[in-house]
Amino acid sequence: MLGGSAVESELVRNALRGRKVVWLEASVVAITRRLGMNSLGLETLIAIRNRLDAMLQQRAIWYRDVATMCLATDRLDAADVARTILIDEEHV
């Protein structure tokens, strides 16, 4: 399992090619909610969301390059994510 910024490294992207790579895609709103940031002041929350949005847009280019599966996780809990990945594995 790798963190979100791992795909920024060309060396890592090259190592991922040809392997099962699941892109766990989440919206900025879902990310800030999961991290408990919705209680921050509005200006702070907007600034954080803008920065996250820029990072996600940049990383999306790299994720598309290496991901063999993309899974939108906004409405899924961890068990749903694991189940979906396992079901996908069974159909390979």
pLDDT value of position 91 = 72
DSSP class per residue in 53-79? HHHHHHHHHHHHHH-SEEEE-TT--HH
Residue type, 37: M
Please indicate whether residue 92 or residue 11 has the higher confidence score (pLDDT). 11
Average pLDDT over residues 66-82: 95
Other Cβ atoms within 10 Å of 80 Cβ, number: 12
pLDDT value of position 92 = 61
Task: Please name the residue ranges forming H helices in the chain.
Answer: 10-16, 28-34, 42-66, 78-90
pLDDT value of position 3 = 79
Domains and CATH numbers, the chain: 4-90 (3.40.50.300)
Tell me the per-residue pLDDT of 42-56, one tens digit each, with 9 for 90 and over.
Answer: 899 899 999 999 999
Tell me the per-residue pLDDT of 15-67, one tens digit each, with 9 for 90 and over.
Answer: 999 999 999 999 999 999 998 888 888 899 899 999 999 999 999 999 999 99
pLDDT value of position 37 = 86
